[in-house]
Amino acid sequence: MNSAPDPRQTVSAQSLLTIEAITSRCAAADKPVVAAAAEHALALRARGFTAEVDLDIDTAGILLGMGLDGAVIAAVLLRSVAEHYRPDSSAFSKAAVSAAEWLAANFGSEVARLQQNAQKARQIEALAAGDDGRGSTPAARLERLRKMLLAMAEDIRVVFIMLAERTSMMRTLFAAPAEAHRRTARDTMDLFAPLANRLGVWQLKWELEDLSFRYLEPERYQRIARLLDEKRAARERFVAQVMEKLKQSLAEAGIDGEVSGRPKHIYSIWKKMQKKGVDFDAVYDIRAVRVLVPTVLDCYAVLGLVHDLWEPISGEFDDYIAKPKANRYRSLHTAVAADDQALEVQIRTYEMHREAELGMAAHWRYKEGGRADKALDTKIAWLRQVLDWKNDLPVAGAFPEILKSGLFDGSIYALTPQGRIVDLPAGSTPVDFAYHIHTDLGHRCRGAKVDGNIVPLNYRLQNAQTVEIIAAKQGGPSRDWLNHEQRYLASSRALAKVRHWFKQQYIEQQIADGRGILEKELARLGATGQNLEKLANALACHSVDEMMAAIGRGEITPRQIELTLVPHVPPMEDVPLPMPGHARGGSSAGVLVVGMNNIATTLAKCCKPVPPDAIVGFVSKARGVTVHRADCFNMNRLASTQRERLMQAGWGNTGAAAFSADIEVLAVDRQGLLRDISEAIAREKVNVTAVNTISKNNQASMRFAMEITKLDHLVRVLKMVEEVPGVISATRR
């Protein structure tokens, strides 16, 4: 019997060279597993799966160039092998029930896990790339794809695999049906190129952008390519002269550096032409060189040499060493005028160059036993950065606007039982998840299952977990959820909803209390048939509920109700009113009263005005002019019966004068609450003159009297107090 043909005999010379290059360049420890994977890939190719296996080989070559380990290379070479696995086939030794088991048995659990995760990501990519039946816009489809890929990428190496696979796909896109060209290129430009940029893999970013641009804007691509080709000879002569001059200058300075020309990226050239509104010849990096040196000090020394050799172009210097880009890119960029031609020079260390080309793949190293270096456990932080890539997109608005709150200091993606992706801040709990789905569900949340197991409500969710909320038919949130130490909430959005619920309950209780007080007072006055809307208007309230709440809080007293319904204010002694004129000063409080010169003014204790509150004066018999806030309840009541005593008033030069102000704080009572609020106020350098606290049913109502200088000072105080754990609301009285 003739032996089976060597699969290498059926492989093209180019593929064979690539396979041999891959196996020879692998680390010694990786050679056995990579060689075995390559043999299976070549055997499959010999069976007729040429295009698929060639794609896998090209992808493996890209990843090897990025410095990825043998497990990644083997997993990629086995992609098509796993897809065409048959348990009963003689082509597979140690056949098992599934492809995953066969991979684990023959290549190890790490290769099997990488292959499974990559295959899962490919399936999600294919699902999002198709029509999901919901009429999604391309932007919504890409946003969903992005979230799903990040949710499923448990190992960042899977993301590198997908970038390399997309690059291989784009290299052979010309062979695909024409109708697929534009959509594939659009997805690549909008999704994969920004992802490569965020991960700092610039060698793939440039290629993905250029290949996409070729199909999205073929005429512009061809025009720039033609211009580059037409002027190649002159440009190469110019760059060669520049490089020789630079090398000589480095040698004279005793700097051991490497000078080379820099590749031209067509899409980058077009973007600069559009951004700066210039022609092809005016783009600096058409003529560009790169200098690599050992140390950072050498970088700045070379910069000085370059600026000595040629005149720097104003506004074209960037120091990304002192201030690296978001993707950790570091380099010095400068543009100079050399022989009346613009020249871009990039200067960086060898290590910076390696990181610039390979990005975070340059940091990926494995210890013996297959465990990742602990420094690389920050992969979630890297993936978080991908969420904020809006500025990387070539088309404004290509993705929906993402909330710019504390949510995106870090994110996780959880799933509903129906498979919906929910993005949450890192550290989120089932309570955060419930409030994200619906406010009412959050209020009624009583328990949760994560991946089918019951967990406590302050359990910290992880990426790709499925969450099921157990809810009561009715009810509200627990006060414990506002206790920061118990960590029930990580989302600012959910926290705001819980605070609002308790604040609303407090208001409703105030309304109920106020209604009881008002009914008793009306009964005492024999005015039970009083029109409440008219009464609310007379008391300067916008609604009956607002009036009831003010009565419940004690802001409107029974005496004020009586005076409104049965006016019996004794007539005041006539005080001559001034003629209209200009506002004049006369008070240490810095209040100006129209027509009054050197008149004593007093700030009303009922409303405690503070600059720049709108104010009005009321002429009193014994105290000159009392100054109220324009929206003061007492002021409005007095105005309804004694309008002739009102005076126009405004603020003069108050200098550093201190003004009294009161705030009311509603909070969930806990140990240390008063201390924490007092410390928050003290951080704003505010002097507290009095504190009154009432605690009932685990709820604290506090009033602080303090001295401030300006209204914006008070606003800052309120904001600081509201950030104290357990505080529901902080308002000015």
Look-up of token digits 């004066």: 617
Q: What is the distance between the alpha carbons of residues 428 and 459, in angstroms, rounded to a whole number? A: 8
Q: What is the distance between the alpha carbons of residues 446 and 456, in angstroms, rounded to a whole number? A: 10
Q: What is the distance between the alpha carbons of residues 487 and 457, in angstroms, rounded to a whole number? A: 9
| Burial status of residue 53 (CB atoms within 10 A of its CB: 0-12, 13-18, 19 or more) | buried
pTM here is 0.47
Q: What is the distance between the alpha carbons of residues 164 and 157, in angstroms, rounded to a whole number? A: 11
pLDDT of residue 8: 38
Topology match between the domains 7-216 and 224-360? no
pLDDT of residue 570: 43
- pLDDT, one tens digit per residue, over 536-569 is 888 878 888 888 888 877 777 777 787 777 654 4
pLDDT of residue 250: 92
pLDDT of residue 719: 85
Q: What is the distance between the alpha carbons of residues 664 and 495, in angstroms, rounded to a whole number? A: 20
Q: What is the distance between the alpha carbons of residues 405 and 423, in angstroms, rounded to a whole number? A: 13
**Distances from the Cα of 440 to the Cα of 421, 427, 446, 473, 486, angstroms:** 19, 22, 12, 10, 22
- The angle formed by the CA atoms of residues 159, 160 and 161, to the nearest 5 degrees, is 90
Look-up of token digits 């209209």: 580
**334 with 317: CB under 8 angstroms?**
yes
**678 with 722: CB under 8 angstroms?**
no
Look-up of token digits 């070729």: 214
**Distances from the Cα of 119 to the Cα of 111, 116, 364, 506, angstroms:** 12, 5, 21, 53
CATH of domain 406-490: 3.10.20.30
Superfamily of 7-216 according to CATH: Hypothetical protein af1432 (1.10.3210.10)
pLDDT of residue 434: 94
pLDDT of residue 363: 46
CA atoms within 13 A on the CB side of 541: 19
Ranges under pLDDT 50 in the chain: 1-14, 131-135, 152, 363-409, 568-588
What three-state secondary structure class fits 723? coil
Q: Which token pair is 17?
A: 């060279």
Instruction: Tell me which residue of 485, 487, 488, 486 sits closest to 477, measured CA to CA.
Output: 488
- In the chain, where are the structural domains located? 7-216, 224-360, 406-490, 501-565, 583-651, 659-732
Look-up of token digits 């309840």: 633
Query: If you write DSSP's letter for every residue of 358-378 in order, what string do you get?
Result: HGGGGG--B-TTSPBPGGGGG
Q: What is the distance between the alpha carbons of residues 7 and 30, in angstroms, rounded to a whole number? A: 22
pLDDT of residue 547: 87
Q: What is the distance between the alpha carbons of residues 105 and 95, in angstroms, rounded to a whole number? A: 9
Q: For 659-732, which CATH class?
A: alpha beta
Chain length of the chain: 733
pLDDT of residue 345: 93
pLDDT of residue 419: 65
pLDDT of residue 444: 92
CATH of domain 224-360: 3.30.460.10
Q: What is the distance between the alpha carbons of residues 196 and 208, in angstroms, rounded to a whole number? A: 9
**330 with 348: CB under 8 angstroms?**
yes
Enumerate long-range contacts of 521-524, CB under 8 Å, 24 or more apart.
Answer: 521/558, 521/561, 521/562, 522/561
